[in-house]
Amino acid sequence: MRNLTLMGIVAAATLFAAPACAGTLTVASRPVADEKAVFATVESISVVPARGRISGTIVELKVKEGDSVTRGQAIAVIADDKLALQMKSLDAQIDALRAQSDQAQIDFDRTSGLVDRGIVPRTKLDETRTALNVAENGLRAKTAERAVIQQQFNEGQVLAPVDGRVVKRTVSIGSVVLPGDTVETIAQQNFRLRLRVPERHARFLKTGDKIRVDGAEFGDRAAKFGVIDLVYPQIEDGRVIADATVDGLGEYFVGDRLRVWISGGTRTAFVIPSNYVTTRFGIDYVRLRQGDQTIDAPVQRGRDLPLPELPNGLEILSGIRAGDQLVQP
């Protein structure tokens, strides 16, 4: 029995007088934001309509709601049967003018040879030159007119005005549209959060403040941080509207609601890395260095408080004080 007692004393001395492991951390209080939870919605910077440039009938829709598009991508096709008929008419006229131009060139070359031999007067050469110029200019005019119709054909493709995601389709195949009618509505990418904060917190809210979004909102463990870009001066329904930018917010849903933590003032707190805390039998401990020894001291754990410089931050409510030396277990 005496031997067992001695063994227990040795084990206890080993537990509370173990040499320091890993790194050490000096406890110091720091100002932290007194965070309040509010709801925010994922919204686009702007919603831009993709409009048709010609009148006609929708013959093809290349994207649907939810598809991502890039600027200049063809998302729909508008056709006008009259353009095809005009194109055929111009093609026939161009063929006729090309034949006239070729014949005028042949007449000019033949007359030029006859004038050189003195068979026909020079006035005849001037007449053939004029006929050649008229035929060539007529051919150029019809070719330019055909290019106009071809450009109208090309404008039958409705192009995405910005990079973003299609949120609404306002037409279907077979719909008749006029120039300027909206075909698709596109939410511009680089989404932002629109916060609606109770007015009692308005005096604490300002541009440049940090916000935090729980990682669980994105199916991830790591929290995301953002910055408030704009605080709107008008209060609506007892709430202040503010816009914030958060990296990696380009999610699928526009209008998705997220819980966001904002600053409601500041307070001082002890925040340490969570890996400095161990839990045994439901009690949390930190390892303190006292001289050449280390002891395990019980502490009261607060809530997780991730900071931009300390992603695994944990608030300690009691059990430590400023200046204590913590040893990572």
Q: Which residues have CB under 8 Å from 193's CB, separation 6+?
A: 40, 41, 42, 43, 211, 213, 226, 243, 244, 245, 246, 249, 258, 260
Query: 40 forms bridges with which residues in the sheet?
Result: 195, 258
pLDDT for position 312: 85
20 secondary structure, DSSP code? P
Candidates 1.25.40.10, 2.60.120.10, 2.40.30.170, 1.20.80.10; CATH matching 19-45+190-329: 2.40.30.170
> Structure tokens of 287?
């390892």
163 Cα distance to chain centroid: 8
State how beta strands 257-273 and 313-318 pair: antiparallel
Condensed to tens digits (0 to 9), the pLDDT of residues 81-101 reads 888 888 888 889 999 999 999
Residue 11 is predicted with a pLDDT of 37
Query: How confident is the model at residue 5, as a pLDDT?
Result: 37
- Check if 19-45+190-329 and 51-78+156-188 are the same fold: no
Look at domain 51-78+156-188 and name its CATH class: mainly beta
Enclosing H/E stretch for 149: helix 122-154
Q: What residue segments make up the domains of the chain, in order of their start?
A: 19-45+190-329, 51-78+156-188, 81-154
Angle 46-48-54 (CA atoms, 0-180°, nearest 5)?
A: 170
In whole angstroms, give the CA distance from residue 198 to residue 195: 10
Beta-carbon contacts of 227 under 8 Å, excluding residues fewer than 6 positions away, are: 208, 209, 210, 211, 244, 245
Q: What is the mean pLDDT of each run of 10 residues along the chain (329 residues)?
A: 36 35 78 81 84 90 88 90 85 91 89 82 85 90 90 87 88 90 86 84 80 70 80 85 79 73 82 90 90 88 82 88 88
